[in-house]
Amino acid sequence: MNNTQSVSRDGRLLRRYEYDDQWVLAADLAVGDDSVEYDIIGDTLILVVDDEGDVTETELDLPGEDADVTVNNGVLTVQVEK
């Protein structure tokens, strides 16, 4: 397993885990679940976060097209089978 962790300038924590059979990304977005919208197009995740009017759009390249995305208590989790 490979594990990487980073903290953004605004204190949001991002962790990425790479296993033999899947890739997992966990990000603490520090907003309510209703402030997060996402869409997957092919192998790209488009993430839009509205933090009290401050809207941020991010595109992430995924290592595959069959991604499972959830948001729970402001934590985004993306799982992709390899």
pLDDT tens digits along 36-59: 999 999 999 999 999 999 999 999
Roughly how many angstroms between the first and final C-alpha of the chain, as a whole number? 13
- Where do the structural domains in the chain lie, given as residue ranges? 2-81
Q: Which CATH number fits domain 2-81: 3.40.50.970, 2.60.40.10, 2.60.40.790, 2.40.50.140?
A: 2.60.40.790
The residue whose two tokens read 């839009």 is 48
Confidence band, pLDDT 50/70/90 cuts, at residue 13: confident
33, 71 Cβ separation under 8 angstroms:
yes
pTM of the predicted structure, to 2 decimals: 0.82
Provide the pLDDT for residue 11. 65
Position 7 pLDDT exceeds 70: no
3, 15 Cβ separation under 8 angstroms:
yes
